Structure 1
């Protein structure tokens, strides 16, 4: 009821906008107002009124040569016919839009036309044409995404170039100051020489004056050289920070462009199948589709959680609060949380830890480390495999506890071991049951273990399982 009330209020505003545009004889404004009124009528399912407004908008746009606006209105008319189930009328309008599509400038309007054509032919049962127009629609979607990404990259490039120019100008200013100092020094020396030539009796005083001036200038020159050195150091730090920012940006774009897309595709695809074919599906099919949707949602939640923690770690917004706690209950809690995933693959998880082993670290970040290592072990262990988690005092590192997560899984290639904890070398590999990931989990582990003054490493042989070790201070 609230949404319908808001739409009615919006309808009143657009009607007032139509009256105002009519008074001003603004053809573009009139066409836009009719188009928006038609859209609102379609939202409240008063399709005849919607079509009436759309056709008025279309006629005005055609008469005033507003090609993009006219095409957009045709798309809205076709969409309304599809909602009414009038496939014949929708086909007629879309073919009309298709004939004029080459004159349209806005790629988003073209994309919508091909999307509607794909939907039309799918509902008519002509899946070959539906697939062909869906492919064209996706091509336009990729083009729009590429344009947006290029625009973002261009903006970052401009900012980088601006900062570089400002630093170059600052260096030039320092160079001018140095030359000015050198000129003043040379001028002073010449004045002293003239004074020595004219005033032989004032040699001692003149010499003292010269030495004083030279000492002063040398001190100033040393200070300027120190400033230049500090500026160069800051430039090097800025370049390093920029390189890290670019690596972070590339990783973020990769996640957004690829890893977020797959869970959403599954959610949208299978929920759409359920919505359109619910009454025609068997109970087993419904359970299977719901299971896929649930797994995709869990995968998406895990991805977003890791992405959020990683982003907060990069921006320094995570508060690390070390405290004394027993490690065994924390490990068992994380095993309990992931037990359902292990049971799906019939993996046996064993915990061998000392119940009195106390550590001093940030509890939340260590829980994240254990959760990600255990999740990876389950992901890369075959059905019926085993995972063992141990925690004890480290023999190699004094005053440190050492936690080991050992699995009987597929192992890691020797060439990949050295780069799995690096942002520019991290990568995502599908698990033994085609589980997906982003490569962020191990980055978070490396970040959090380092923040807690520990070390993390892996021993693994391809095909023989893996052992992930990390240390944290004993309490």
Structure 2
């Protein structure tokens, strides 16, 4: 194909893109072949003007199958769109950047880019573009299990699609919204949206999507116990999807039919459906379907007292469940191992092939030597070149192996370091849990003894010991729970617009009794007009830990203040005290687990540093920072920077 013909073909695609203004259903339209062709055209036509380049950058990003490649070309499109002042192309580029980050799991960045894309579409009054981006946002929030926000964006997109009479996108949005409601157990609403979606898909003659809607209705009816209706819809969906060889949903629907038959006591039919679902999963490589079918088969065989097969499928279920949970880590390690092994095998094959070639050439040289010395010289030069290339190939292969070995060794050292940190952390926690719990031992006997002696002064002292120990234990356990959830990645992070007062004042009220008990003057209430964009729970935990530490290390009659000020794009929460301060040797590892962590408060309170570790992690979680200044015997000042809320 000539270069001119290629340009004409891509130009036709380009005109279509200009007329539509944006792309939809990107997951079904990506084509590696088209992307490679477009990249080749870009490389061959460096003289193109910025307008044409911008369109092609966005096209490559649209068709790209690799998320990093999609982001790369979309960023080129954004940069070029800004130069030519094109909001339409800027919106496209921002949307594709968001899609790339969403695919990589960086959902916060994806949301940021999607919001910019929606704003660009709104600036040029392209409502359909705004609606498509709203669908993208809804999908991201669905992944985050943020039902309320996902529902809001689905409803907004549906409203626009209705107004613009865009039937296919309307039906798709309704289908996705129904699935959101199904997963969140709002079954009646889910059926309503599925049914409306099915009607629209039938109108535009889209049978595969009609089957999706019908099958999902069956899933809801199965949960509600409406087995007859569920069975009719599930079988109807399977019949249609079989014609399209769309096996993923078929497997899901067959598992639902298996559960229905099991509830009826028809175990033989239930086993048949579950076996079929498992076979589809194995044939198509669908791990989630294999996992769910294995669990269903295990339960069915267990109910038949066939414990051997039940155990087999239970083991298979656990294997695939763990495989799915650790899929990303396993995939990376497998890719690295495969690349290493393939490289070695390829090097061996190349070496053997070169050796064969060399022998053949040497035999040929021997024969040619009898005919002419000149040919011998030429062939000898060829052999030298081949050997030189072979040598360089060996050197490159050795360098690759060495680099990969260094990476693996570095990862091994990192694992050992993390294990050491974990062991030290558990040692600290077990030691410091022992203290408060030990205080409870024997207290019951002392209380009984003092009651019999009428020694109420000692009873009051015992009461204070119990109160301090329980408060110390409760605070330590709260921080330990928060830290553990954050390390596992399950600590809820839901940033929102919130006032500085809402973060500070609950903490001040909770800790006021502790301040009064030590006769410490503490800020009673914070007054501030600043609004920050943070997760309320983690931000409040951060301030509570800092104020609690300040009270712990401030002697009786001291002062603890909590104020809020502004510095650039941040609201700065300042916790200051005139307590015992922090030794210089502890400042270096203040927010970690290294070094000696235990310190005693001015009234005998114990601290292990877990609260400060939480402070650092939660501040970073909320895209902020924390600084500290302190002098022994003069007090400490912690400054926490949280980002201010910015109107979009």
The offset of 1:317, in angstroms, is 2.5
> Partner residue of 1:304?
477
The offset of 1:386, in angstroms, is 0.8
TM-score, length-normalised on structure 2?
A: 0.42
Q: Are residues 1:425 and 2:620 paired?
A: no
Out of 467, 474, 478, the position equivalent to 1:294 is 467
> Partner residue of 2:413?
239
> Partner residue of 1:280?
453
Out of 507, 520, 543, the position equivalent to 1:370 is 543
The offset of 1:391, in angstroms, is 1.2
The offset of 1:288, in angstroms, is 2.6
Contact between 2:571 and 2:642, CA under 8 Å: does it hold in 1? yes
Greater relative contact order: 1 or 2 (C-alpha under 8 angstroms, separation 6 or more)? 1
Q: Are residues 1:401 and 2:571 paired?
A: yes
CA distance in 1, matches of 2:622, 2:383: 60
Q: How does 1:3-402 map to 2 (within 5 A)?
A: 182=351, 185-186=354-355, 188-199=357-368, 222=396, 225-226=399-400, 229-256=403-430, 258-275=431-448, 278-350=451-523, 353-394=526-567, 398-402=568-572
The offset of 1:468, in angstroms, is 0.6
> Partner residue of 1:440?
610
The offset of 1:312, in angstroms, is 2.2
Contact between 1:387 and 1:407, CA under 8 Å: does it hold in 2? yes
CA distance in 1, matches of 2:446, 2:356: 88
1:3-32 Cα distance to aligned partner (Å, 9 max, x none): xxxxxxxxxxxxxxxxxxxxxxxxxxxxxx
Contact between 1:192 and 1:210, CA under 8 Å: does it hold in 2? no
CA distance in 2, matches of 1:231, 1:321: 40
CA distance in 2, matches of 1:199, 1:275: 112
TM-score, length-normalised on structure 1?
A: 0.56
1:412-447 Cα distance to aligned partner (Å, 9 max, x none): 122221211122136121011111122111111111
Cα distance change on mapping 1:198 and 1:279 into 2, 3 Å: farther
The offset of 1:371, in angstroms, is 0.7
Gaps of 5+ in 1: 1-166
> Partner residue of 2:301?
none
CA distance in 2, matches of 1:236, 1:274: 57
Q: Secondary structure at the match of 1:265?
A: helix
Cα distance change on mapping 1:209 and 1:404 into 2, 3 Å: same
Cα distance change on mapping 1:389 and 1:269 into 2, 3 Å: same
Cα distance change on mapping 1:284 and 1:351 into 2, 3 Å: closer
Contact between 1:456 and 1:471, CA under 8 Å: does it hold in 2? yes
1:143-176 Cα distance to aligned partner (Å, 9 max, x none): xxxxxxxxxxxxxxxxxxxxxxxx99x9999879
> Partner residue of 1:462?
632
1:369-423 Cα distance to aligned partner (Å, 9 max, x none): 10110011001111111111111211xxx31221110101111122221211122
CA distance in 1, matches of 2:343, 2:524: 64
CA distance in 1, matches of 2:447, 2:600: 27
The offset of 1:177, in angstroms, is 7.8
> Partner residue of 1:452?
622
Cα distance change on mapping 1:369 and 1:184 into 2, 3 Å: same
CA distance in 1, matches of 2:390, 2:598: 62
CA distance in 1, matches of 2:643, 2:544: 19
CA distance in 2, matches of 1:386, 1:293: 26
CA distance in 2, matches of 1:198, 1:351: 102
Cα distance change on mapping 1:208 and 1:400 into 2, 3 Å: farther
Cα distance change on mapping 1:439 and 1:203 into 2, 3 Å: same
CA distance in 2, matches of 1:458, 1:224: 49
Cα distance change on mapping 1:197 and 1:324 into 2, 3 Å: farther
CA distance in 1, matches of 2:448, 2:582: 42
The offset of 1:344, in angstroms, is 0.5
The CA RMSD over aligned residues, in Å, is 3.6
Q: Mean Cα displacement is larger for which, 307-316 or 318-327?
A: 307-316
Cα distance change on mapping 1:353 and 1:275 into 2, 3 Å: closer
The offset of 1:188, in angstroms, is 4.0
The offset of 1:207, in angstroms, is 8.5
CA distance in 2, matches of 1:172, 1:276: 74
> Partner residue of 2:128?
none
The offset of 1:340, in angstroms, is 0.7
The offset of 1:199, in angstroms, is 4.1
Q: Secondary structure at the match of 1:197?
A: helix
Q: Secondary structure at the match of 1:260?
A: helix
> Partner residue of 1:40?
none
The offset of 1:308, in angstroms, is 1.7
> Partner residue of 1:100?
none
Q: Secondary structure at the match of 2:571?
A: strand
Gaps of 5+ in 2: 1-335, 370-374
The offset of 1:182, in angstroms, is 4.8
CA distance in 2, matches of 1:234, 1:418: 30
CA distance in 1, matches of 2:381, 2:462: 96
> Partner residue of 1:474?
644
Q: Mean Cα displacement is larger for which, 280-289 or 382-391?
A: 280-289
Query: Paired residues, what number?
Result: 304
The offset of 1:238, in angstroms, is 3.2
